[in-house]
Each structure stands twice: as structure tokens, then as C-alpha cells.
Amino acid sequence: PITPGELLCLGSSLAFSGLFYYLYRRKSRVVARIQEAPKLQVDDNLPALVSAAEGRCLPYVALEGIVLPAQAALTSHYHEGLQGVIQKLLLKEHRLIWNSLARSW
């Protein structure tokens, strides 16, 4: 005979497994879309391409080009000859999406 405690543990284990599998599948689709993103060069044609796109937005693209630092490039303390720059990113959300799990916007 199976006790109610064992049934509760089995049910919660199955529920958590289903939830984590659902989250895994959802994130794997996003990763696949990012990996299939088209690679665009930063050149004079890029503004025209963005303005011609639907909603003036290009979802999941990889930009390739030369980056010049505004002041001085950062050098790595661990790898000789490796340099980098810091990118300032401004994200502006125009619409709110209801999160039913957290019950917030």
C-alpha cells in the first residue's frame, strides 16, 4: 500500500519535472533562434535595412564590425595583448506584459 505522503511526494516530483522540462524547452527555442541569427556588417547600409524592417526593429541579429573606444581601450591583466571596450546599453520597454506566475507587470 502507498501512503498519502508518498503520493504527495510523487505528485510534486512529477509537477516539478514537468515545469523544469517546459522551461528548458522554451529556453532552448530561444537559444536556437539566437544561433540562427543573421550576421550583418556595421556599414552605411545598416540604417536603411533597419528602417525597412517591420516595426523598424531587427530581432536577433549579430552585428560584426570594428569597434573604436571612446577614450582608451581596456587591457587584460591576464592575457597579454587582449583589449576590450565597454558598451553602454539603454533598454527601453514600451509595453508591459502581465506575469501570471509573479502576478506583476
HSE-up (13 A, CA, CB side) for residue 33: 9
If you write DSSP's letter for every residue of 40-104 in order, what string do you get?
EE-STTHHHHHHHSGGG---S-EEE-----SS--EE-SSSTT-EE----------S---BTTTTB
Tens place of pLDDT for every residue, the chain, 105 residues?
889 999 999 999 999 999 999 999 999 998 998 888 888 888 888 889 888 988 888 877 888 888 788 888 889 899 888 888 877 666 666 667 777 887 776
Residue with cell 505522503: 5
What pLDDT score does 91 carry? 67
Assigned C-alpha cell, 18: 514537468
Contact criterion met (CB below 8 Å) for 39 and 65:
no
What pLDDT score does 54 carry? 87
What pLDDT score does 89 carry? 65
pTM for the model stands at 0.46
